């Protein structure tokens, strides 16, 4: 179960140059920062706001808000519609599926789809549909029998089945869900049902079949979802994968990302945390500054093979 508590982190976010469940126990960290370079004393020093970090402590995270759902349409007409049980576990609209198709074209054209090693998805119908539609395989399987990411027609759609062929693993995580409580559109279906509709998605991190996190009379506060989001980012930093897609929700993204970048230039802060549109993808670099991850570098080379004298001249001159 998700515990709502204040949490801080020494992770950092940067906008990348790329185009556009219980979590493991994680130690309490000290502060949220985007960058922490000292003021330069002369022109040759790094400018304020620049930072250098070991490559193996950085990950590229592709953040995606789900495509248009039926709740988005009804809620824009009348905000009280969010209280309707008719919108329980809202599915994508036909327009939403068109948005997914266009995002899929983008991730293929930009090469993102070939680099992603893991897709993390919120276990609600609209995010599951967006994730498999964007990062799944709808082409010719050439006779290869691969598990289905989505069965045909799942979630009131007219979509064909989507294969897991040549796709990264997909894993559902409760901690990146939308605000919990009150709104039926944010209450998930049973995991048993999801496993039937999305057979190749891993739901093993979700402890209960029924949704025990959603409460009918209590809406999760912004500070609570922000703390949950920072904890989720800490968990991402412990993963071995270097390039990860996360398919989640507007409220979760807004509150989580606003926890970062507070000492950046306002324009950079805005790039990180501005509200997401439906089916928007935003690429960031997640920097682990507190050694949450123990994964070694795969690019560093120790040198001195074979060994020999290598005292630098500047050190020798001081001796």
Catalytic site residue from 74, 174, 178, 243? 178
Q: What is the DSSP string of 184-242?
A: GGGPPPPHHHHHHHSTTSB-TT---SS--S--SS-PPPHHHHHHHHHHHHHHHHHSS-S
Nearest to 59 by CA among 273, 256, 283: 283
Task: Respond yes or no: is residue 66 known to be catalytic.
Answer: yes
Q: Which residue has the tokens 């507070």?
A: 262
Alpha-carbon distance of 283 to 56, in angstroms, equals 18
Catalytic site residue from 66, 71, 91, 179? 66
Confirm if 132 and 150 have CB atoms less than 8 A apart: yes
Confirm if 63 and 93 have CB atoms less than 8 A apart: no
Nearest to 170 by CA among 247, 95, 93: 247
Task: Respond yes or no: is residue 178 known to be catalytic.
Answer: yes
| Catalytic residue set | 66, 178
């Amino acid at each position: 179960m998700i515990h709502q508590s204040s949490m801080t982190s020494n992770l950092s976010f940067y906008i990348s140059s790329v185009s556009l469940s219980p979590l493991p126990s994680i130690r309490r960290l000290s502060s949220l920062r985007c960058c922490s370079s000292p003021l330069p004393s002369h022109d040759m020093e790094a400018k304020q706001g620049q930072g250098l970090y070991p490559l193996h402590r950085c990950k590229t995270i592709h953040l995606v808000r789900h495509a248009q759902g039926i709740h988005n349409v009804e809620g824009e007409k009348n905000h009280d519609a969010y209280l309707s049980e008719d919108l329980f576990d809202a599915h994508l609209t036909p327009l939403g599926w068109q948005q997914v198709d266009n995002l899929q074209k983008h991730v293929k054209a930009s090469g993102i789809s070939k680099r992603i090693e893991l897709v993390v998805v919120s276990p609600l119908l609209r995010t599951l549909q967006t994730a498999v539609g964007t990062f799944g395989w709808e082409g010719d399987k050439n006779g290869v029998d691969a598990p289905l990411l989505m069965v045909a027609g799942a979630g009131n759609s007219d979509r064909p089945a989507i294969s897991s062929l040549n796709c990264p693993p997909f894993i559902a995580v409760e901690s990146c869900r939308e605000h919990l409580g009150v709104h039926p559109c944010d209450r998930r279906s049973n995991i048993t049902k999801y496993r039937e509709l999305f057979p190749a998605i891993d739901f093993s991190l979700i402890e209960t079949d029924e949704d025990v996190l959603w409460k009918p009379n209590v809406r999760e506060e912004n500070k609570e979802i922000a703390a949950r989001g920072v904890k989720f980012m800490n968990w991402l930093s412990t993963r071995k994968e270097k390039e990860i897609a996360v398919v989640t929700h507007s409220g979760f993204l807004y509150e989580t990302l606003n926890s970062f970048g507070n000492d950046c230039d306002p324009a950079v802060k805005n790039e990180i945390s501005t509200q997401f549109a439906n089916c928007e993808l935003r690429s960031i670099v997640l920097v682990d500054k507190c050694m949450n991850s123990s994964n070694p570098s795969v690019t560093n080379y120790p040198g001195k093979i074979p060994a020999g004298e290598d005292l630098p001249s500047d050190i020798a001159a001081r001796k």
